[in-house]
């Protein structure tokens, strides 16, 4: 079972920034397409961003221009830089590799944007 450990969440004011990190010890990390998902109340889950092994990225329309996904293959880590955060209900952010069953996702890290 692959493990991912997310960190960096917290409470931030509207307009602020957070940088989420995700680490794994899995040697196949360098070939994976990594993703950031978020899940808010009611279990609604959104695919926020992805990054392929060749560094190709995709973003949810609502975060384009504000969020940036990146990865460090040497450290086996993936990041999500979130800028100009907007008020929202708390959400937990997860970073599985694409195709991983939800049952195998990490614990996530909660982000709350509120004044």
Q: Is the pLDDT of residue 89 over 80?
A: yes
The whole-number average pLDDT for the span 62-68 is: 97
| pLDDT tens-place string over residues 10-57 | 999 999 999 999 999 989 999 999 999 999 888 789 999 999 999 999
The HSE-up count of residue 1 (CA atoms within 13 Å, CB side) is 9
Instruction: Give CA–CA dist 13/19, Å, rounded.
Output: 14
Q: Is the dihedral of CA 82, 99, 56, 58 positive or negative?
A: negative
Res 41: pLDDT: 82
């Amino acid at each position: 079972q692959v493990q991912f450990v997310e960190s960096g969440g917290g409470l931030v004011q509207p307009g602020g920034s957070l940088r989420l990190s995700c680490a794994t010890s899995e040697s196949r990390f360098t070939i994976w397409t990594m993703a950031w998902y978020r899940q808010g109340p009611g279990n609604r889950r959104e695919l926020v961003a992805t990054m392929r092994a060749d560094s190709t990225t995709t973003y949810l329309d609502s975060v384009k221009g504000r969020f940036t996904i990146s990865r460090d293959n040497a450290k086996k880590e993936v990041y999500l830089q979130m800028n100009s955060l907007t008020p929202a209900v708390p959400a937990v952010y997860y970073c599985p590799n694409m195709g991983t069953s939800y049952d195998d996702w990490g614990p996530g890290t909660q982000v709350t944007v509120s004044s």
